[in-house]
Copies of this chain bind each other. A is one copy, B any other.
Amino acid sequence: MSLLVVGSIAFDAVTSPFGSRDRMLGGSAVHFSLAASFFTDVRVAGPVGDDFGDEELAVLHERGVNTDDIEHVEGGQTFFWRGRYEYDLNTAHTEDTQLGVFGDFSPKLSSASTEAETVFLANIQPDLQREVRGLCTGAGLVGLDSMNLWIETARDSLVKTIGGVDLVFMNDAEIRQLTEEPNLVAAARKVLDMGPRAIVAKQGEYGAALVTADRFFALPAYPLETVRDPTGAGDSFAGGFLGHLASQGDGAGEDEGVLRRAMTYGSVLASYNVEDFGTERVRALTREEIDGRFEEFLDITAIEGVPMR
């Protein structure tokens, strides 16, 4: 099945204790697309400027991502973000943000995109997310990400947008902030009450939890000894998650087993993403490596029947 992502396509400058990059391909929609491309057909939509060229497109094409709905805005500049991580790596310190062509973004989608069965609304202004949701008349399953900025500046719109999607991917701190409920389980249940079928609470180095009406599932993060650049981890997670879901056909979003495998593929993709700067590691990734780490997740979470080594 076809999977559409609408969100930011960007250039990132990142400094972490393990090095720095002045300008590299990034953005939510890019990290999502590359991760999802290992599982299903992916289409990416979002605006870019004159500084976005064949080299960047090639990264997406190498992974088979359809870029027909990337909108080139003449005379514009691609979204740019500069950030820095300290040793704890949990917090990104933003040093510069230049919206560029993203400032006037109004989504235009081809019919191939509006017919996509699975859609991911990456973290953009919630009014825009709702507009995209409305255009996607073929979508049977829609996921959404958001952030503290929109909780603080556009809460009502965000709640309305959440009411129209099936899956919410948010950091656990943001789920608490949105609901003003310090207990994560209680907070996730309040988000479920807004309409979605499942909440994925991303917990950074602690992993992620999946909350549905009557079930709870939690998965640790893969135990990496070195994280070089956490940028895009959440989008890679969502890409692995929705990529797997889209590959499982109709009704996959209602199957607890499929959702849990999707959580695991999401965690696998996020773990590879953070191993190197930007898209460097995921670009070089193979399906065999993904499946290998999936098996490792079975091992590191098994209470009973621990495989011998």
Interface residues of A (CB under 8 A from B): 87-89, 182-186, 189, 203, 205-207, 209, 211, 214-220, 223-227, 256-257, 260-261, 263-264, 297-298, 300-306, 309
Q: Determine if A186 and B260 form an interchain contact, defined as CB atoms under 8 angstroms apart.
A: no
- Contact A260 to B309, CB < 8 A, known contacts A89-B182, A185-B225: no
Please indicate the chain B residues that have their CB under 8 angstroms from the CB of A214 in the complex.
309
Please indicate the chain B residues that have their CB under 8 angstroms from the CB of A88 in the complex.
182
Name A298's contact: one of B203, B209, B303 (CB within 8 Å): B303
Besides the known contacts A183-B226, A263-B303, 13 further A-B residue pairs in the complex with CB atoms under 8 A apart = A88-B182, A89-B182, A185-B225, A209-B223, A211-B223, A216-B223, A217-B302, A218-B220, A218-B301, A220-B220, A261-B304, A298-B304, A301-B301
The complex places the Cα of A114 from the Cα of B304 at a distance, in Å, of 33
Closest B residue by C-beta to A89: B182
Q: Name 16 A/B residue pairs within 8 A (Cβ), A-sorted.
A: A88-B182, A183-B226, A183-B227, A185-B223, A209-B223, A211-B223, A214-B309, A217-B301, A218-B300, A218-B301, A219-B220, A256-B306, A257-B304, A260-B302, A260-B303, A263-B303
Closest B residue by C-beta to A186: B225
The complex places the Cα of A217 from the Cα of B309 at a distance, in Å, of 14
Q: Determine if B303 and A219 form an interchain contact, defined as CB atoms under 8 angstroms apart.
A: yes
Q: Determine if A182 and B87 form an interchain contact, defined as CB atoms under 8 angstroms apart.
A: yes
The complex places the Cα of A119 from the Cα of B226 at a distance, in Å, of 35
Closest B residue by C-beta to A87: B182
Closest B residue by C-beta to A294: B303
Please indicate the chain B residues that have their CB under 8 angstroms from the CB of A306 in the complex.
256-257, 260
- Contact A223 to B227, CB < 8 A, known contacts A184-B205, A298-B303, A304-B298: no
Please indicate the chain B residues that have their CB under 8 angstroms from the CB of A257 in the complex.
304-306
Chain B min CB distance to A221 (Å): 8
Please indicate the chain B residues that have their CB under 8 angstroms from the CB of A264 in the complex.
303
Chain B min CB distance to A18 (Å): 11
Chain B min CB distance to A47 (Å): 37
Name A185's contact: one of B217, B224, B301, B303 (CB within 8 Å): B224
Chain B min CB distance to A56 (Å): 31
Q: Determine if B215 and A309 form an interchain contact, defined as CB atoms under 8 angstroms apart.
A: yes
Chain B min CB distance to A93 (Å): 15
Please indicate the chain B residues that have their CB under 8 angstroms from the CB of A184 in the complex.
205, 223
Chain B min CB distance to A306 (Å): 5
Closest B residue by C-beta to A211: B223
Q: Determine if B207 and A218 form an interchain contact, defined as CB atoms under 8 angstroms apart.
A: yes
Closest B residue by C-beta to A224: B185
The complex places the Cα of A301 from the Cα of B207 at a distance, in Å, of 12
Please indicate the chain B residues that have their CB under 8 angstroms from the CB of A217 in the complex.
300-302
